[in-house]
Structure 1
Amino acid sequence: MPRIISANLNGIRSAHKKGFFNWMATQDADFVCVQELKAQEADMTEEFLAPHGYHGHFHYAEKKGYSGTGVYSRIKPDAARIGFGSAEFDAEGRYTRCDVGNLTVISVYCPSGSSSPERQEAKFRFMDVFLPHLQQLKAEGREVVICGDWNIAHKEIDLKNWKSNQKNSGFLPEEREWMTRVFDELGLVDVHRGIDQRPEQYTWWSNRGQAWAKNVGWRIDYHVATPGIAAKAHAVSIYKEERFSDHAPLIIDYAL
C-alpha cells in the first residue's frame, strides 16, 4: 500500500530546522517527493541525502540557493533520472524521476511567474516543453505519479480569492487551460480531486498578511497520475499540524 508524499520545503535546511525529517520518520511513506531544496550538492548532509535509510536522488539548480527537487524512496530505485531533457529548465533543477518496478515517481517544481513578466514568459516556455514530455511519459505504458508544486490553481475551488486573482500568475486563463489539457487531452488524473471534492483544500499560503491564520490559500501542489494508479488512490490528506514551509505536505495512499 504505497504512501506517496509531496512537499515543497522552501529550503531543505530551513525545513530540517522546523522538524521536517523528524516528521517524515513517522509517516511510513514509500516515496517522499520534495521541491525547492535551495541547496547545492555541497550543502547536503547525510541526514538530507539518506534520512532514516531512504534512498535519495536529487536535481540541483546551477544557481545557488534556488529551486531543486528530490525523491526519497524506501526501496532502492531500479533507475533514477535527473532532468527531462530541456536545457533551460534542467539547469534550474526542476525534475527528479525514480523507477521501482512498473511504477515511476517524479518530483517536479514548475516555475512561478509571479516575480516578473520575464519569469512568467519562462513559465509559459516550461509549459510548452513539459506537455509533450508528459505525453511521452504516458506513452511509456508505466504507472506514473508526478508529484510537486505545479504553481497553478486549476479551478475556482482551488484558491480562496479566485475573482481577484484572474490576472495573476498561477491563475491565468492560459495556465488553467494548460492544466485542463493535462487532464482532458493527455488523460492524466488529478488524484486529490478524484477523492476529495471539498473546497478549501489548500496547500500553499502567502507569507503576507494573515493568509495562513485565515486559510486564504491556494491548491498548487498535486499528484498527477496515470489512470491505473490514480484509481487505486483511497486516502488523501494535507498535513497542517506543523509548518515546515509556506506549503503543506500532500499525502496520498494508494492500494496496489
Structure 2
Amino acid sequence: MRIATFNVNGIRAAQRRGFEQWLRERDPDVVAVQEMRSRAATIPPGVFGPYHLAYDEGVLAGRNGVAVLTRHAPAAVRTWSGTAMLRASGETHTHTVELDPAPLARGLREFADQGRYIEVDLADAPITVASLYLPKGGLPAHLQKPGRMREAPDGGARYERKMRFLDGFARQLTRSRRDARARGRELLLMGDLNIAHTRHDVRNWRRSNQVEGYLPEEREWFGSILSPRTLVDVVRDRCPDTDGPYSWWSWLGQSFADDTGWRIDYHLATPRLARAAVAAGTDREPAADLRMSDHAPVVVDYEL
C-alpha cells in the first residue's frame, strides 16, 4: 500500500503546477493533504481524480485545511470540529456533514475549528490515518530582536500558542493511538509538524537553534511522542544517520537548488505498521521551476 503526505500550500496553486500529474503517476492508495487553503466550493473540479475526499476546511478563509484521499469510502471519519465534507469521485456537492465529535484533550479547544486535524479509518486496511497541520509558531519573547525578524515582534504570542498546541496534542495523540488499538487498528499520523527533530533534519542545524521549528523545547517535545512502543518516525527509521531527505525549502534564493532544506513532514506509525515499510522517501522535483509547493510529498510503501 502506497501512502503519501503532502502540504500542497494551496490546492489551486498546486494544481496549476502539476499536482494532478503527480497523483496519477505516483498512484498512491492514500494521501494526507495539508494547507488546502480552499473553501469546499472552490476546490478545483476533478483535481483529486478517482479518490474519495474527507476534508475539514476550518473557518480561517485562505488558511489551513486538512484532508485525506482514499481509494474507497472511509469506514469512519473524525475531526476536532465535528464536521467534514465527504465526497466521492465525481461528486460536486460542497456541504459538510455532522460527525460524532471526537473528545478533545485539554488545551485543544481553541484550535478545534481551524482545520488542522482529520482522521479516517480505512475501509480496505486495519489502519487509522490522520492528517495534521501543526502551527508554525514563533520565537519566545527573549529571542525576538526587532530588525532581525521577517515578522513583527509579538512578545512571544505565536510561540506560546504553539506550545499550548503541543501540550494538548501530546495527550490527544495518546488517546487516538489507544482508541485505534481498541478498534483493532494501527495508527499512522502524517503531516506538516513544523518541527525538525534532529540535526539530520535541517541543513543548517548549527545556526538554527534559535529558529522556530528547531528550538530545543520543540525538539524535546517531538522526542517525547516517539518510542519503539508508541510511534516510530518511519522515514528516519528507514534512513538512519543520513541528512534529510528534506521535505521543505524556502521559495527564496537558492534554497532548493542548494538543498538547504528542512524535514518537517512525517509519517509517524505505530510499531507494527512501521515495520511494514519497505520503501520511503521524498518526491523532490528535479528543478526549482517544477515545484508544486514549497513542500515535497513524502511517500512510503507499506507491505501489508
Tell me which interval the TM-score lies in, with the shorter structure as reference length.
Answer: over 0.9
**Structure having the higher Rg:** 2
Task: Tell me the secondary structure at the aligned position of residue 138 of structure 1.
Answer: helix
Q: Distance in 1 between matches of 2:283 and 2:219?
A: 25
Deviation at 1:26? 1.5
* Alignment correspondent of 1:22: 21
Q: Distance in 2 between matches of 1:124 and 1:186?
A: 24
The AA in structure 1 aligned to 2:129 is V
* Alignment correspondent of 1:102: 126
Q: How is 1:83-98 mapped onto 2 (pairs within 5 angstroms)?
A: 83=80, 85=104, 86-98=108-120
Q: Distance in 2 between matches of 1:61 and 1:19?
A: 25
Deviation at 1:12? 0.6
Q: Distance in 2 between matches of 1:196 and 1:70?
A: 27
Q: Is the 8 A contact 1:146 1:224 kept in 2?
A: yes
Q: Distance in 2 between matches of 1:129 and 1:194?
A: 26
Deviation at 1:28? 2.0
Q: Distance in 2 between matches of 1:192 and 1:94?
A: 22
Q: Is the 8 A contact 2:228 2:271 kept in 1?
A: no
Comparing 95-104 with 174-183, greater Cα deviation is found at 95-104
- Deviation sequence 1:132-154 (CA, Å, 0-9, x none): 11111221212011110000000
Does residue 254 (structure 1) correspond to residue 302 (structure 2)? The answer is yes
- Deviation sequence 1:36-78 (CA, Å, 0-9, x none): 1111122123324xx2210001111211100111000011110
Q: How is 1:31-50 mapped onto 2 (pairs within 5 angstroms)?
A: 31-48=30-47
Q: Distance in 2 between matches of 1:104 and 1:216?
A: 33
- Deviation sequence 1:80-123 (CA, Å, 0-9, x none): 11226333212210011110242101110000014553222111
Does residue 65 (structure 1) correspond to residue 87 (structure 2)? The answer is no
The AA in structure 2 aligned to 1:122 is R
Deviation at 1:209? 2.1
Deviation at 1:30? 0.9
Give the share of equivalent positions with the same residue, in percent: 40
* Alignment correspondent of 1:212: 256
Q: Distance in 1 between matches of 2:260 and 2:163?
A: 26
* Alignment correspondent of 2:192: 149
Q: Distance in 2 between matches of 1:12 and 1:206?
A: 18
Does residue 120 (structure 1) correspond to residue 159 (structure 2)? The answer is yes
State how many pairs are aligned: 253
The AA in structure 2 aligned to 1:127 is L
What residue ranges of structure 1 are gaps of 5+ in the alignment?
Answer: none
Task: Tell me the secondary structure at the aligned position of residue 224 of structure 1.
Answer: strand
Q: How is 1:179-218 mapped onto 2 (pairs within 5 angstroms)?
A: 179-184=222-227, 187-197=230-240, 198-218=242-262
Does residue 5 (structure 1) correspond to residue 29 (structure 2)? The answer is no
Q: CA RMSD in A?
A: 1.5
The 1:134–1:255 alpha-carbon spacing in structure 2 relative to 1, beyond 3 Å, is: same
* Alignment correspondent of 2:205: 162
* Alignment correspondent of 2:147: none
TM, length-normalised to structure 2: 0.80
Task: Tell me the secondary structure at the aligned position of residue 223 of structure 1.
Answer: strand
Which structure 1 residue ranges, 4+ long, deviate > 3 Å from structure 2? none
Does residue 235 (structure 1) correspond to residue 257 (structure 2)? The answer is no
Task: Tell me the secondary structure at the aligned position of residue 166 of structure 2.
Answer: helix
Deviation at 1:185? 8.8
Q: Is the 8 A contact 1:58 1:82 kept in 2?
A: no
The AA in structure 1 aligned to 2:296 is A
- Deviation sequence 1:132-188 (CA, Å, 0-9, x none): 111112212120111100000000111011111101110011100001001039721
What residue ranges of structure 2 are gaps of 5+ in the alignment?
Answer: 81-101, 139-150
Q: Is the 8 A contact 1:135 1:186 kept in 2?
A: no
Q: Distance in 1 between matches of 2:292 and 2:164?
A: 30
